[in-house]
Amino acid sequence: MIETWRWFGPSDVTTISDIMQTGATGIVSALHHIPDGASWSASEIAKRQAQIGTTFDGRASGLVWLVVESLPVSEDIKRQTGDWREHIANYKLSLENLAAAGIYTVCYNFMPVIDWTRTDLAWRLPHGGTCMRFDAVDFAAFDIHLLQRKGAAGSVPPAVAAEATARFKHMSDADKQKLAASVLAGLPGAVDKLSVSTVQEHLARYGDISSERLRRHLFDFLEEVVPVAAGLGIRLCCHPDDPPFSLMGLPRIMSTEADYRALLDHVPDAANGMTLCSGALGARPDNDLAGIMRRLGDRVHFLHLRNVRLEGESVGCSFHESEHLDGSVDMVELIRAIIDEEARRKASGRLDSIIPMRPDHGQDILDDLNRGGQPGYPLIGRLKGLAELRGVARALAVTR
């Protein structure tokens, strides 16, 4: 695997100089300051490449912008409303400019309204560090009582709704504000900041969009952009829903192996692929991560390796982000499947035989607790995860 590291740009508390010391060689980044639906210009792409290639004191870093995460798909495209056709044209132009700059792997997602969602961004662990957590009861409390979404109470089991109501009654105003801020945190560096009122407005616009219709819109989007990507040599890779089940009554259509099979079969071009995120897909007990890699691995263009500890056995249960080798995902078996896929690619002569991987998320430990970094993206916690993943991969490669 090609070891990469996510960097959010000059405002990221983890610097390019820091990343040089991790051993990663590729950078995963995006132009978060450009609004969704607008095109990425050649000059802005070149500016980010220069930032990646240079340390704070002007030395060459040796790091390369290898993967875009994410080139956002606008809400207009997802709903097929407003300026969605113009936004698709801008998406194609962005792909052309990225290819001209030598960047050929582009990750995106099709989650409506909200990106990854947690109810606690700094949940205290027994060892004193913190991690991100999704508490099903807390989320129900947000949905029912803060968002006040019609039908929210009926969308969860009665016991969960009752516990959410009881818990909400004992929340202080500060507790409620913290819960809302955690749920609506979104991606670091994003232009659009969500609030309860803006989410309510978005939900109203999605009122008549079913899972089938949203999937149709995704396929329409791919039918437009995949031929362009294929012509440019770009690999598009769709990130799974995180968490991989419906939230706030919104359809989520990239949550299971069957969802990915439908996407890959509908547009069979090799340019249409997937980001295998073991943490996102791993938050469903019915997803077999190593099996998914073995069955769909030829279309996996990007890897997010992290682990989660499920706190129940049903879809929609609570979970927290665990250490990379200690969770509900069998990380050793997943890495074994990845190494086998890379060997198959090499034997068949594929130019993309080595798959880019980044150690995704991480627990805040040691000095991370004082650095004030982005939730989920601590320096030391991710470095620990990278070291563990690197060790497993090398051990398996030797014994293969």
Rounded distance, CA 51 to CA 232, Å? 24
User: Which residues fall within 8 angstroms of residue 260, CB to CB, at 6 or more apart?
Assistant: 238, 240, 254, 274, 292, 296
* pLDDT reported for residue 194: 84
Dihedral (CA of 256, 194, 309, 277) sign: positive
- What average pLDDT values come out for the chain (400 residues) when binned by 10 residues? 97 96 98 96 98 94 97 97 98 98 98 94 98 98 97 96 98 97 75 83 93 98 98 98 96 97 98 98 98 98 98 97 98 98 97 97 97 94 98 92
Catalytic status, residue 202: no
Catalytic residue (choose from 304, 320, 364, 368): 304
Catalytic residue (choose from 135, 143, 360, 368): 360
Cβ–Cβ < 8 Å for 104, 96? no
Cβ atoms < 10 Å from Cβ of 206: 19
Catalytic status, residue 304: yes
Catalytic status, residue 131: no
User: Which one, of 240, 193, 202, lies nearest residue 35 by Cα?
Assistant: 193
Catalytic status, residue 361: yes
DSSP 147: S
* pLDDT reported for residue 399: 85
Catalytic status, residue 377: yes
Catalytic residue (choose from 107, 131, 277, 317): 277
Catalytic residue (choose from 238, 361, 364, 368): 361
Q: Which residues of 274-308 are buried (b: 16+ CB within 10 A; e: fewer)?
A: bbbbbbbbbbbeebbbbebbbebbebbbbbbbbbb
Q: How far is the CA of 303 from the CAs of 5, 68, 280, in angstroms?
A: 11, 13, 11
* pLDDT reported for residue 192: 65
How many CA atoms does the CB half-sphere of 392 hold within 13 Å? 21
Catalytic residue (choose from 87, 145, 239, 324): 239
